[in-house]
Amino acid sequence: MSEKLKPNFTPVPNVIFDKIMRTLTPGAVKVIFAICRYTYGWGKKSDRISLSQLSDMTGMERKSVVRTVRQLGNLVIIRRGNPRTNQASEYRINVEIADSDLVSLGHQPSVTMVPIQRNKNRTKKKTLTLPTARVRANPSTTVVRTGRQQGSE
């Protein structure tokens, strides 16, 4: 047996496995596990974790890590670091999160394609197709992502 594969432990709250994991994107699962590793894995409630550390551990680009952390919404509490002193943000799992917020975490609509007609006065029309995904950062905020323009006759 490999010494690296011998059981050692990073505590992960059971609810992440039992309820939350199946509703999250693969990237969100990676990020939440990385936060658990940096915090609970070292016996801490919170830790200062740089985006580079999260990127290295998850194999995701920094932009994707930022977007994914936003998707986790109330599940993760972040206390911003100080960029002037190169201090990383502090992350912790929100253990005080309401059960209703846990249930709604993964119930985000899937990406859909919405055709939009542009330039109605021209004879040659182009259809702008925008993939949209609504991501609930908190109950009062809705984020809409858009894609690239595609031409059609």
Establish how many alpha carbons lie within 13 A of residue 24's alpha carbon, considering only the half-sphere containing its beta carbon.
Answer: 24
Task: Report d(CA 131, CA 113) in Å as an integer.
Answer: 4
Q: What is the pLDDT of residue 120?
A: 53
| Structural domains of the chain ordered from first start | 3-104 (1.10.10.10), 112-144 (no CATH)
Can you give the pTM of this predicted structure? 0.65
Q: What is the pLDDT of residue 113?
A: 35
CB 139 within 8 A of CB 123: no
pLDDT along the chain (153 residues), means of 10: 81 90 93 96 96 97 95 92 93 88 57 42 49 47 45 44
